[in-house]
Structure 1
Amino acid sequence: MKLAPRDATAYFRSPDPARTGLLIYGPDAMRIAAKRQQVLAALLGPNAESEMRLARIPASELRKDPAALLDAVKAQGFFPGPRAVLVEEAADGLSTTLSAALKEWSAGDAQVIVTAGQLTARSSLRKLFESHPSAYAAAIYDDPPGRDEIAGMLKDASLSDVAGEALEALAALARELPPGDFRQTLEKLALYKLGATEPVSVEEVALMAPASSEAGVDAVLEAVASGATESIGPLLRRLYAQGVQPVTLCIGAVRHFRILHTAASDPGGPGSGVARLRPPVFGRRRDRIVRQAQQWGVVKLEAGLSILTDTDLRLRSVSAAPAQALMERALIRLAMLARPR
């Protein structure tokens, strides 16, 4: 049977031990591994002996010895409880072997858990699990986790007091980070809040978020928006030393100034404009955007976007002008534009 994404999220958290098998497939190996780990932990339990009730058979070995799968499914374990056989990186070439094991499966046998990469609708492996009356097939897409999935991850991390803007900030973070990085962020946040009685704040979410070169880019843009021309050179040298390219910095600047222009152009004022931004912004970053949009105004922001557009075109052209110097000159011009006349 085919599991819809919403149903799959619930099933991974509480799999049915009486099912014959489960196929998890999709283009992102990291997401597949995370779901496989989740379903096995829920099926077999978190204790040490659960690993003794799991048999792992790589697809490469199964191709050499097809009988190994049925032997593992039928084998009797020394430890009581549900058992599972994991077949990783399967493909359509194993459909016949897996079909034979599913047909021979009976109550008390090990459940067959299979992972695979991207499978088309015509895939024989996918059709095998989707048409089986007691097995499931679940596709894992690159979509960010939804509210229900985030709520489950918060529960797993023992983070119960998260609401309002902090929850919105985590949802926005989940759209930006890979699943593994987002889960690690929640674990860091749980350790940070261990024993605390206050609810999770937006500032704490930002503090636990992974550090990246974007923080350095934000510092440069803050100096530019504030008219601090003397700070631009040292900040740029630090960014370039980290490997940030001028064209990357220009793209970040264009994105930031477009956000400011959107906020400044809102009929309800910058505060109303920031509230309409998607993905939403929170905490200090929201206050900074409102302040900068008010300081610059629509006319100056349009002039600034014109400077950045010209710079972007020159950076992407075959011009012999040094890219770092072009970018620094553009940012200094913007910083001078920010100063009150």
Structure 2
Amino acid sequence: MILKGAEINRYLARPDPTRPALLIYGQDAMRVALKRAEAVAALTGPNADEEMRLTRIPGADLRKDATLVVDAIKEVGFFPGQRVVLVEDTPDAAAPALATAIGEWAHGDAAIVVTAGGLTKSSALRKLFEPHASAVTAPIYDDPPGEEEIHRWLAEAGLTDVPQPAMRDLLALSRALDPGDFRQTVEKIGLYKHGDDSALSPEEIALMAPSTIDAEVDELIDAVAEGKSDRFGQLMRRIEGQGIAPVTICIAALRHFRALHAASADPGGAQAGLSRLRPPVFGPRRDRMARQVQGWGMRNLEEAIHHLLDTDLQLRSASRAPQMALIERALIRLSMMPRGAR
């Protein structure tokens, strides 16, 4: 049986212990590992390792000894509860040994969970599992988790009251982070909100989210984008004292103004455009950048980007001009540009 779409996540959250084997495969090793851990935990419950109800077998070992899985599923444990034999990083060469084990599996035996990397249509493992009447195949794609899956992770972290604005920002964050980092962030949010009966807010999500840009440079670019030339000098001297390279400042400024430009061009408005960026912008940061978009206007943003591109070329050229002076002059010019749509 081949799982498809939303049924993949639903099944892996509650696998059927009466089915002999489950194949989980995909290109992204982290996504496969997360789904494997979820499925095994759902099958065995807590304390499976301590109670010796979980047996791990490297897939490559099956090429040397094809009886490993059969012996493992038939073992009788000392503790009650569902047992699982986990075969990890499984190559196609292990397919004959797994076929034998699935053929000899009987009710009461340990469930077999097999993980593998990306498998082609001609893969021996897929040819074994996909047409099988009882075994289950769960292909894991590189899609970010959906709202249903995030709700389940939040519930596991102890959060059930999640308003729509907070869920919108979590969905945006899930597209920006790899699945392992996102799952850790959800757990971090759960710990932060432990014992707090108030609803999760976008501000709290922004506080818990991993930082993606140096705070000092971020503050400087915000001052430029908001025309706060009175703060520029102090911020610039602080960054210069930290030894941040001028080209790094220019790249960060270009990224910021390109984000403003993309949001300005979005038919859904600046807020929606910022949420659709890669990585997305959310929480109070999104509100602040949305105000910057409205203050600049499309034409002025295009002019700012052209000016930063010219500065970037000068910084990377053989010019002997002082580089910090070049980027400082460019940012001062931007901070003093007239605002408003043109």
TM-score (normalised: structure 2) = 0.87
Q: Quote the residue 1:290 is aligned against.
A: 290
Equivalence map 1:1-341=2 (5 Å)? 1-47=1-47, 51-225=51-225, 226=227, 227=229, 228-234=231-237, 236-237=239-240, 241=244, 249-262=249-262, 272-279=269-276, 281-314=281-314, 326-337=326-337
1:239 Cα offset (Å): 6.9
User: Residue type of the partner of 1:229?
Assistant: F
User: Residue type of the partner of 2:233?
Assistant: E
Distance between the aligned counterparts of 1:218 and 1:169, measured in 2?
20
Unaligned runs of 5+ in 1: none
Cα distance 1:35–1:318, how it changes in 2: closer, same or farther (>3 A)?
A: farther
Percent identity (aligned): 53
Unaligned runs of 5+ in 2: none
1:300 Cα offset (Å): 2.9
1:326 Cα offset (Å): 4.7
User: Residue type of the partner of 1:40?
Assistant: V
Cα distance 1:183–1:197, how it changes in 2: closer, same or farther (>3 A)?
A: same
Point out the more displaced range, 27-36 or 310-319. Answer: 310-319
Q: Deviations over 1:137-192 (max 9, x none)?
A: 11111111011111111111111111121111111111111112111111121121
1:288 Cα offset (Å): 1.4
1:247 Cα offset (Å): 5.3
Cα distance 1:69–1:204, how it changes in 2: closer, same or farther (>3 A)?
A: same
TM-score (normalised: structure 1) = 0.87
Distance between the aligned counterparts of 1:317 and 1:98, measured in 2?
60
Q: RMSD in angstroms over aligned alpha carbons?
A: 2.8
Residue 138 of structure 2 aligns to a residue whose secondary structure is strand
Q: Deviations over 1:93-137 (max 9, x none)?
A: 111111111111111111111111111111111111111111111
Q: Deviations over 1:301-338 (max 9, x none)?
A: 22211112223445566767776665444333323336
Distance between the aligned counterparts of 2:264 and 2:49, measured in 1?
60
User: Residue type of the partner of 2:18?
Assistant: A
Residue 86 of structure 1 aligns to a residue whose secondary structure is strand
Aligned length: 334
CA contact (8 A) 2:274 2:282 kept: no
User: Residue type of the partner of 2:184?
Assistant: Q
1:294 Cα offset (Å): 3.6
Distance between the aligned counterparts of 1:184 and 1:100, measured in 2?
38
Cα distance 1:235–1:302, how it changes in 2: closer, same or farther (>3 A)?
A: farther
